[in-house]
Chains A and B, each alone.
Chain A
Amino acid sequence: MAEYEPILLKNVGKEGSACIQVYKASGGYGALEKALKTMTPDDVCQEVKKADLRGRGGAGFPAGVKWGFLPADRQVTYLCVNADESEPPTFSNRVLMEHDPHSLLEGIIIAGYATRATAAYVYMRAEFTEQFHIMQRAVDDAYASGYFGKNILGSGYDLECYIHRGGGAYVCGEETGLIESIEGKRGWPRIKPPFPAIEGLFGRPTVVNNVETLCNVPHIIERGADWFLAIGPQGSSGPKLFCVSGPVNRPGCYECSMDITVRELIESDRFGCGMRDGKKVKGVLPGGVSMGIITGDELDMKMDFADPAKYGLLGLGTAAATVINEDTDIRIVLRNVARFFAHESCGQCTQCREGTSWLYRVAERLAAGAGRLQDLDLLADLSVSMGMMPGLSICGLSDGATFGIKTIVSKFRDELEGYIRAQTPGKAEAALSIVN
C-alpha cells in the first residue's frame, strides 16, 4: 500500500467545505470551465471512457461505456443521479454530499454536458434530511453563480438540476426502480431491455450514475485519463471510497486506491486503527450486506472489482465493510441480513417476495434458538432458487439477498450447527414470535 493523497475527500474537514466560495477558492469548477470551453461533449465522453471509470454504486459498469449507449439522434436526454444510498452499511455518498456537495454538482454538469442532458434529477433517499438541505443550498448557490440554467458559462449549454426526494425504498437504488419512482410510481424495476440509455425516464434516453462515480468525473477532466489509470490495479483504477463500520477503533469513510486489503482497512493507522478492545475479527461484510461475508481468515482479500469473486462474494459492491467481532452471535447477523431483504423486496417477482420472507422466517427461527439442522440446507437451497443470475428475477435485489445468506451459512456452518445442537428443545419454539 503506497502513500496515498486523498482526491475525493480532499475537501472533507475543511472549514465551510460545503460553501461554494470555499469550493471555488480551492480550484472548484475549474474542470467544468475546461470541459465547457476546450472540449466537445464527445471529447469528455472519450476521456471518461479511456479512464475506465467503473461505476461506484455496486455494479461496476464503466460510466463512459454507459454514456456511449445513448442513441446519436436523441432530442431530450436525462441524467439521473443515484443518491439513494440505501445499502447497509454504506455512507460514502452521504459524506460527499454533506461535506463536498459542489464536487458532485460539478460532476453532474460535466456528465450532463458529455451526454447532452437537458435536466439532471438527483434522487435522494428520504432519510437524507440534513443532507437534502445542504444539497439544495448547494444547488441554489450553483444556480445563482450561473452553473445551472441557460447558457452555462457562456457555452450555450443548458442544464436544469432538481433534487427529487424518495420515499424510503431500497429497491429505488436500482436504476429502473429509481426511474419509476421519479415518474411517480411505486419503485418497481423494469424488465430490460430496453435499457435506460434507450428508453428511460419519461421514455427518453437516460443515464443513471452514482454520486461517487460523478464526483470522479471532474478529476478525470482536470488531470486526464492517464492520471486516473495510474492509480490502483488494472481494471480497478482510480480513487475509491471505503466505509468501515462496526467495533473498530476508528470507523469512518476513507479513500485509497483499490489495491488495499480488508485487513489494512481494519488494522491500518490510516483507516480503522484495529479492533476495539483488541477483539478478534469473526467476519466482515466487505461490500455492503448484499455481497456476502468473509471470515476472519480471509482478510487478505483485496478491495477491487476482481478479488471478491474469489472468496465467493457477488462483487465489490459499495466497498462498505462492516466488521463483526468474536463476541457477535452469527445468527444475529444472519437474521439482520435476512430481515433487511424481506422488508425491502419490492414484491414484484414472486420468488423474491416469497423467498426473502421465508429466508427471514428461517433465520428468525435460528436466532430464537429454535433452529433445526435441516434449516441450514433449506437456507442454502432457497438461496439458489431465486435471483437474476439464475434468470428468475427482474433486478438484482434477490441476488444480493442470496449471496448474503448463502455465504453466512456456508462459511459459518460449524458455528450455526453448534448453536442448534446446544438448544433446549421446546423452550424457544414457545417463545417464537413468528408462527409458521
Chain B
Amino acid sequence: MAWKALDRNDGPPRAEGDRLSEAVKARIRVFFDRYETKRAVLLPALHIVQDEFGYVGWRAMEDIAELLELPPSEVFDAVTFYTYFWTHPRGRKVITVCRSASCEVMGSEGILAECKNVLGISEHQTTPDGNYSLQTEECLAQCDHAPCMKINERTYSCVKVSEVRGILEDPNNDRLDIPRSDLYDGAKRYGAV
C-alpha cells in the first residue's frame, strides 16, 4: 500500500520556470566564503531563488546545481525534503496557518476554514489572481499567541475567525514594522536585474 505524502507533492506537476539571472547568481555567490564546501550554500541558494521566483523551478534547480557543482538530482533531493520550498508557482503572498497542538486546541481549524472560505482555495493552492497561496505549518513557535498565522514574513497573533477577512483585505498585510535584512532575498526586490 502506498502512503501518500501528506502535502508535499500536491498541486500542478513540476514547473520548468526561469533560469537564474546573473544578479541572482551573484547574490548566491556571496555565501561561498562562509562555508568549507560549495554544497553548503544550497539552502541559502534555495531561499534566494524562492524569493526571486516565488518557487524553485526545474531550470533554477539545474542552474543551482551548476553553480554549486552538484548533480541536479542532489538539488532536487533537498528541495523536495524541505517543506518550506515550493516546486510550483505560489501567490505573491503565502498564508501559513499554524496547526500545532496549542493552536488546534485554541481554534486554528476555524482560522484555516475561514481563510479557505474568504479566498476560495484549499491548502497548497493559489487564488486565480495570483495574490494568495494557502498552507499549514506544524508549529510557528507562537503558542502563547495561539491561534496564529503568517502572511509572508509577518506574524498574526491570537487571531479570531471574525478578524480573518479584515486581515486578508488589508493590502499591507505582509509589511513588517522592523528593519529587514536583505541577505536571503532575491535580486528582484532591489530592481538589480
Contacts and interface: CB of A to CB of B under 8 A. Distances in A.
Interface of A: 85-91, 93-94, 119, 125-130, 132-134, 136-137, 140, 160, 162-170, 181-187, 202, 204, 243-247, 251-253, 285, 289, 320, 322, 324-325, 328, 332-333, 336-337, 339-340, 342-344, 346, 354, 357, 436
Interface in B143-193: 143-146, 150, 152-155, 176, 178-181, 183-184
Given A94-B141, A285-B101, A346-B81, 20 more contacts: A88-B143, A126-B82, A130-B154, A130-B155, A130-B178, A134-B178, A166-B43, A167-B82, A167-B84, A169-B83, A181-B43, A182-B35, A184-B42, A184-B70, A186-B78, A186-B81, A244-B144, A246-B106, A332-B105, A354-B3
B138 A130 contact: no
Given A89-B139, A130-B153, A168-B82, A336 B176 contact: no
B6 A343 contact: yes
A86 B138 contact: yes
14 contacts: A89-B102, A94-B141, A129-B150, A129-B154, A130-B176, A130-B178, A140-B181, A167-B84, A183-B40, A185-B74, A186-B82, A251-B144, A285-B101, A339-B99
B104 A336 contact: yes
A123 to B, nearest CB: 10
A246 B82 contact: no
Interface of B: 1, 3, 6-7, 34-37, 39-44, 46-47, 68, 70, 74, 77-78, 81-85, 96, 99-106, 137-146, 150, 152-155, 176, 178-181, 183-184
Which 6 A-B pairs have CB atoms at the shortest separation, nearest pair first?
Answer: A167-B82, A184-B42, A89-B143, A168-B84, A129-B153, A88-B100
A137 B150 CA distance: 21
Given A133-B181, A164-B44, A251-B144, A343 B138 contact: yes
Contacts of A186: 77-78, 81-82
B82 A166 contact: yes
B39 to A, nearest CB: 4
A372 to B, nearest CB: 19
A165 B74 CA distance: 19
Nearest to B40: A184
B105 A86 contact: no
A169 B144 contact: no
B104 A165 contact: no
A52 B146 CA distance: 34
Nearest to B47: A165
Listed residue (A87, A129, A166, A340) with the most chain B CB atoms within 10 angstroms of its CB: A129
B144 A88 contact: no
Given A128-B141, A165-B184, A88 B78 contact: no
Given A183-B37, A183-B40, A202-B37, A243 B101 contact: no
A89 B85 CA distance: 23
B86 to A, nearest CB: 11
Contacts of B106: 245-247
A15 to B, nearest CB: 15
A88 B138 contact: yes
A167 B81 contact: yes
B113 to A, nearest CB: 15
A184 B39 contact: yes
A91 B144 contact: yes
Given A136-B181, A166-B43, A85 B141 contact: yes
A184 B75 CA distance: 9
Contacts of B103: 89
Contact of B138 (A184, A325, A340, A346): A340
A139 to B, nearest CB: 9
Contact of B179 (A126, A133, A344, A357): A133
A249 to B, nearest CB: 12
Nearest to A171: B81
B142 A94 contact: yes
A89 B100 contact: yes
